Amino acid sequence: MKRIAVLTSGGDAPGMNAAIRAVVRSGLSRGWEVFGVQHGYAGLVGGEIRNLSARDVGGIIQQGGTMLGSARAPEFKTIEGRTKALRHLHQHDISGLVVIGGNGSQTGAHALSQMGLEVVGVASTIDNDLYGSEMTIGVDTALNIALEAIDRLKNTASSHQRAFLLEVMGRDCGYLALMSGIAGGAESIVIPEVPTEPETIAQELRSAYERGKAHAIVVVAEGAKYNAEALANYFKEHREELGFELRAATLGHIQRGGLPGAFDRILATRFGAAAVAALDRGEHGVLVGLNKGAITTTPYAEVTGKKKPLDLGLLELAKQLDG
C-alpha cells in the first residue's frame, strides 16, 4: 500500500480545497493512505503531518482558502530545512508528495524532487504566472471578484462623472489586471509587462473625458511601475489634466477570498486526480497543468525559473475597443 501526502503552499487560492479533496479521495480509491501536511512547507519541516480520511475532506469543495493552511517557509529554502522535511516524511513511510501552490512552491517542490522524493505539483495561484499551465487554480474566481468590483465602481463613477483607479493583485504579472480590464471594459489597463508613465494615463483619461464619457476605469496591476497609490499621488498634482475627478481603490486580499466558482472547482478536482494518477504510474518531478484544454504534466526542469508570457495582443484589443 502506497502512502502519500498533500500540502498547500504560498498564496492561498480559491479551489485549493477542491484539489485537496480530489487528491485524498483519488488516493483512498486506490487503497492508499493519504496524509495532510498543515501549513505548507513550514509544517513539513516541523512534522505537522496527519492522516486524512474521506470524511476529513467532506464539505470543503465549496470553501475558499485551504483547510490545510498555508505558509511562507524561509527555512525550506535551505538544504537543512528540506532534509528535516524529508526525515518527517520517511518517519511516516510516505513516498509521494503532492504540492498545491504557485511559482515559489513549485520551485521548492522541484528542489525536493531533486533530493529523491516522488513529488507532483498542482498549479495553483490566482496570479496565473506559473509556466506550464495556461490556467491555474483560483484565477477564474479572482477574476470574477475583480470584475464585480469594476462593475460596481462603474456605477458610482458614472453617477458622478469620475475616474477610478482600481488596483488588482497579480504580483509582477499583469494577467489579472489585463483580463479583468478587458472583461470590465476598462478605459485603461496598466500592467508591469508594459511600463506606463503617468502622463500617458493622464492623456488617456483626458481623451475619454473629451469624448464625453461618463466615467473612466483604470485597472492597475499591483506590480506595475506605478501602482494605484503612486498614480493617485501623481494625479493629485495634475488634477486639471484629467478632466475627471479621480478616486482610487485597492482590491487587495478581498480578491483571494470567497467561494470558488465552477471553473476552479472542476479544474482543481481534475488537477488533484491527475496528480495522484501520475504518482500511480510512477511519473513524478512534474507539474500538473492545463494546456490547450487538456490536463498535462510538464517536467519541473521545464517549468521552474521560467517567465510565463502574457498575450499583449489582448492589451491592443482593449485599446482598440475603448471607443
Q: Does 9 participate in binding ligand ADP (rule CB under 6 A)? A: yes
Closest of 205, 211, 215, 190 to residue 241, by C-alpha: 205
What φ, ψ does residue 44 adopt, rounded to 5°?
-70, -40
Residues 265 and 93: beta-carbon distance below 8 Å = no
Q: Which is it for strands 294-299 and 286-291: parallel, antiparallel or unpaired? A: antiparallel
Helix (H) or strand (E) holding 300: helix 300-303
**String of contacts with ligand ADP for each residue 60-89, x by CB under 6 A:** ------------xx--xx------------
Q: Does 107 participate in binding ligand ADP (rule CB under 6 A)? A: yes
**String of contacts with ligand ADP for each residue 202-241, x by CB under 6 A:** ----------------------------------------
Q: Does 164 participate in binding ligand ADP (rule CB under 6 A)? A: no
End-to-end CA distance of the chain: 62
Q: Does 132 participate in binding ligand ADP (rule CB under 6 A)? A: no
Say which residue the cell 477542491 belongs to.
18
- Order across the sheet with 96-101: list the strands: 49-52, 33-37, 3-8, 96-101, 118-123, 286-291, 294-299
For residue 56, what is the DSSP state?
G
Contacts of 199 (CB under 8 A, 6+ apart): none
Residues 125 and 141: beta-carbon distance below 8 Å = no
Q: Site for ligand ADP (CB under 6 A): which residue of 66, 103, 113, 144?
A: 103
Q: Site for ligand ADP (CB under 6 A): which residue of 104, 121, 184, 192?
A: 104
Stretch that binds ligand ADP, among 85-93, 105-113, 229-237, 248-256 (CB under 6 A): 105-113
Q: Does 168 participate in binding ligand ADP (rule CB under 6 A)? A: no
| Shortest Å distance, C-beta 73 to ligand ADP | 4
Out of 12, 56, 93, 127, pick the active-site residue: 127
Residues 120 and 21: beta-carbon distance below 8 Å = no
Q: Where are the beta strands (DSSP E) in the chain?
A: 3-8, 33-37, 49-52, 96-101, 118-123, 162-168, 188-190, 216-221, 245-250, 286-291, 294-299
Residues 125 and 151: beta-carbon distance below 8 Å = no
| Shortest Å distance, C-beta 9 to ligand ADP | 5
Site for ligand ADP in 12-51 (CB under 6 A): 41
| Shortest Å distance, C-beta 212 to ligand ADP | 43
**String of contacts with ligand ADP for each residue 108-127, x by CB under 6 A:** x--x-------------x--
Q: Site for ligand ADP (CB under 6 A): which residue of 14, 101, 174, 260?
A: 101
Whether 129 sits among the annotated catalytic residues: the reply is no
Measured from the CB atom, is 30 or 77 closer to ligand ADP? Answer: 77
| Shortest Å distance, C-beta 196 to ligand ADP | 25
Using CB under 6 A as the criterion, which residues of the chain lie in contact with ligand ADP when the complex forms?
A: 9-11, 41, 72-73, 76-77, 101-105, 107-108, 111, 125
Name the residues annotated as catalytic. 127
